[in-house]
Amino acid sequence: MKNQIEQLGKKYNINPVSMDICKQEEKLGFLVAKQDLVISLLPYVLHPLVAKACITNKVNMVTASYITPALKELEKSVEDAGITIIGELGLDPGLDHMLAMETIDKAKEVGATIESYISYCGGLPAPEHSNNPLRYKFSWSPVGVLMNVMQSATYLLDGKVVNVAGGISFLDAVTSMDFFPGLNLEGYPNRDSTKYAEIYGISSAHTLLRGTLRYKGLEC
């Protein structure tokens, strides 16, 4: 591992540091203090530790992960420190938010009313490389990928809130997706979609679902 880290450092002109931030918070703070911006790509449960170091040292931070309650609790401290911490800046969540708002705003500009919003997003390997039992390649936390499959979800369908229990029963919510000819895809609801009615400004919608897209077989 050490040799691999050193090789990557030379290849991309970076200074790699190996540490356990749960046990070396002082060292983390020292590293953060020297930066203009911190990009946290650690497992989501560790973002609050990084955020606290950024607050202490007044350094801005971005992350691709969802804003969790633990991060939300730091909002007042972030404001008091005069810094900016932005989450959900990845593919999903991230680019999907931007595309959603672009489309919604354009619709509103011509006087349209949003009655339904359904979005599925997924990072898929090329079909010829989906060559393992999961038919998926890990480009982020393997634990996060597998947890995402088994967590509970909530969405709005025809004016009714639908709650999907986590665990094995979550597999009952998987839907076959046939909109790409030649690709055998399926989708499942992603977390709590209902909160985006306010965030996206589409409280008029009777259906609101954000979902994850995968090759068929991941949920088996």
Active site residues: 92
**CA 181 – CA 81 distance, rounded (Å):** 51
Select from 215, 203, 59 the least CA-distant residue to 122. Answer: 215
Task: Report the greatest alpha carbon distance in the chain.
Answer: 59
DSSP H/E element including 83:
none
14: three-class secondary structure by DSSP: coil
CA count, 13 A, side-chain hemisphere, 56: 15
What is the number of alpha carbons within 13 Å of residue 88 lying toward its C-beta?
12
Residue-wise DSSP of 32-68: HHT-SEEEE-S-GGGHHHHHHHHHHHT-EEEESS---
**How many Å separate Cα 43 from the centre of its chain?**
11
Task: Read off the tokens for 11.
Answer: 């290849």
